[in-house]
Amino acid sequence: MMNTYLAVDFGGGSGRVMAGSICQGVLKLEEVYRFSNKQVRMGNHIYWDFPALFDEMKNGIRQAVRQGYRVRSIGIDTWGVDFGLIDKDGNLLGNPVCYRDTRTDGLPEELFDEPALRAHYAEAGIQVMSINTLFQLYSLKKKEDAQLQVADRLLFMPDLFSYYLTGVANNEYCIASTSELLDARTRTWNRALIDRLGVPQSLFGEIVMPGTVRGKLKKEIREELGISQEIEVVAVGSHDTSSAVFAVPGAGKNRAFLSSGTWSLLGVELEEPILTEEARKAGFTNEGGVGGKIRFLQNITGLWMLQRLIGEWKEEGKETDYEYLISAAETADITSVIDVDDKVFQSPVNMAEAIAGYCRNHGVQIPVSQGEYVRCVLQSLAQRYKQGMERLNTLLPAPIEQLHIVGGGCRNRLLNRLTSEALGIPVYAGPVEATAIGNILVQALAAGEITDRNEIKEII
């Protein structure tokens, strides 16, 4: 029986467990289990329900075993920046707070003046955003939060899932790079910055690169899931975008990627970071990639707005079939373009009202029908991608000649078309399951089953 690699992929709205096996250059990919993931508002904060997500992950692994897969290893990827704190006994000190929480509002301006921002970017190379781990920790420090006083280790979301599977605590490079706490050149913790922040150095542990075996499933986990053999947990590109970018097909220096999902991440892969003042002002970030590469990109609000609209319409009893909504948007007569990165769209109580209010305040046509709302969001995203590409071209030796859209958003034919029209270059869509594919390819490389990602000629 062939080796099977399980990719556990947590997104902002759902998670799934995917099984992958490789035979003669063909990757066979199957969905084993899917589950929902939602933010929970409780008290003054927005949380992720980590215990429920951990249980769902175990359910997915259990299903894979019951279906007869010969599981060789497991890789875990999630969204960026969020984390959990554990004490010296390995106890989780609280559910991780969601990056959309308001506790970090205004903190970047409080922590950095303009000269400090320039110096900080020259070290970290990360776009300063209030959602980043740096400011989440600063929020805890300011409030003298009791968790910081007893915490032993900080673990980003994929690190946290891995820890409770294996009992081994470490920090994977790609996810750690989203924190704004690494030195972009050395790929290690920026210890001087951590000191300035005033949080314990001991929270930050060993950084492991994708392809490293993080540990093996604990005996009690194996017994609970009915597993007899030992199974490794492998560090993959555990920021979901790093796995997705690793799966982008083809080659060529003058190509860009767009990982399209809840967030849109537009950029290129580089050998070394770009830490210039021009890059900072243009809003680019240098995040870690598989193989120690740099993902030089912009973080752009993605299909989050459409996802929220669909959720609201579902509660109102309106039509939410995706094909219906895209078809309605294709024929909608509205030209309004909104700033998708405006803070009013970050976590509004009602997305439709937020969009209508923005249009009203800026003197542009207010959407009325569902098709008009969808069209407004998608053409606004396409125009934002155009702005990002124009800025990217000013920072590279040669202009981008093609764009590869990967992830769930590449199925949105209208957004693909609007993007191609806005950019004026060829746009290639797929693979849809790029994150899971990249996750599995790193595991296969770690196992020695393949020596290069380009060995994969076909994906089923």
List residues with catalytic annotation: 240
Q: How far apart are CA 71 and CA 231, in angstroms?
A: 7
Q: How far apart are CA 315 and CA 252, in angstroms?
A: 45
Instruction: Give the tokens for residue 341.
Output: 């990165």
Class of residue 283 by CB neighbours under 10 A (exposed 0-12, middle 13-18, buried 19+): middle
Instruction: Give the tokens for residue 21.
Output: 């096996």
Number of C-beta neighbours around residue 67 at 10 A:
12
Q: From residue 417, how far is each of 269, 287, 378 by CA, in Å?
A: 24, 28, 10
Taken in order 68, 69, 74, 78, is the CA torsion positive or negative?
negative
Q: How far apart are CA 169 and CA 11, in angstroms?
A: 22
Radius of gyration of the chain (CA): 21
Which has the closest alpha carbon to 388: 267, 207, 281, 249? 267
Instruction: Give the tokens for residue 20.
Output: 């992958």
Q: How far apart are CA 62 and CA 85, in angstroms?
A: 27
Q: How far apart are CA 51 and CA 371, in angstroms?
A: 38
